[in-house]
Amino acid sequence: MKMETPYQNHIDKADFDHVYEPAEDSFLLIDALEKDLEYLKAKNPTFCLEVGSGSGVVITALGMAFPGALCLSTDINFKACVMSKATATYNKVVLDAVNMDLATAFTDKKFDIIIFNPPYVVTESEECGGTDITASWAGGVKGREVTDRLLSLIPKKLADNGTFYLLLIEDNIPSEVVGIMAKYGFRHDIVVTRRVRNELQRVLKFHR
């Protein structure tokens, strides 16, 4: 089963001065979803969320594969929300793009799929918390300060039968993330791993 990569011809190169440009990690997430497509089709998701959607290519790819699903995205960078919505529209996907921190403003939403390509670069803590393009990469201590905040929300935001996809690098100490999620009652699988330059990227899938 194949997933289509969304067209991005509508995006002006200059826009990527303000929004994270789709890169190897973005396409690794799409590859992970494609690898898991049979599993996802059996789940028949109706409510899908990408946290920190950037350009919107990942949630749009998912929306193209599941045209009946309701897709939402969030990003703390308002310009990223605008671009995500434009990417979805250009590829004939209906998407609500919401300008918010992680998924904090959703109170009772229970998503069937949650996707997160976090800011995973190890930085000083002070570099975290921006609302511009720095928010797409500055991860603080272990490159995990933003990720760890989302992990605590997942039990409240994910449907009982739902699946959470998370991209990590070795610096993020994935075994610790697995341990945190296990305490919340989640099992995990490594969907796909790829070395990109000097980074080992992997997509983990968490489910109950």
Average pLDDT, the chain: 93
The strand pair at 95-99 and 187-196 is best described as unpaired
Question: What pTM does this model have?
Answer: 0.95
pLDDT tens-digit map of 171-193: 999 999 999 999 999 999 999 99
What does the pLDDT look like over 17-44, one tens digit per residue? 888 888 899 999 999 999 999 999 999 9
**What is the CATH number for 164?**
3.40.50.150
- The angle, 0 to 180 degrees and rounded to 10, between the axes of the packed helices 57-65 and 24-35 is 20
What is the residue whose two structure tokens read 């990569």? 5
Residue 184 lies in a domain: yes
Residue range of the domain that includes 199? 22-203
Q: What's the rounded Cα separation, in Å, for the pair 125 and 203?
A: 24
Of 45, 10, 49, 37, residue with least CA distance to 192: 37
Angle (CA) 22 23 26, round 5°:
70
Query: Does 6 fall in a domain?
Result: no
Nearest-5° angle of CA 110, CA 111, CA 116? Answer: 130
| DSSP-derived pairing of the beta strands 111-116 and 47-51 | parallel
Structural domain count of the chain: 1
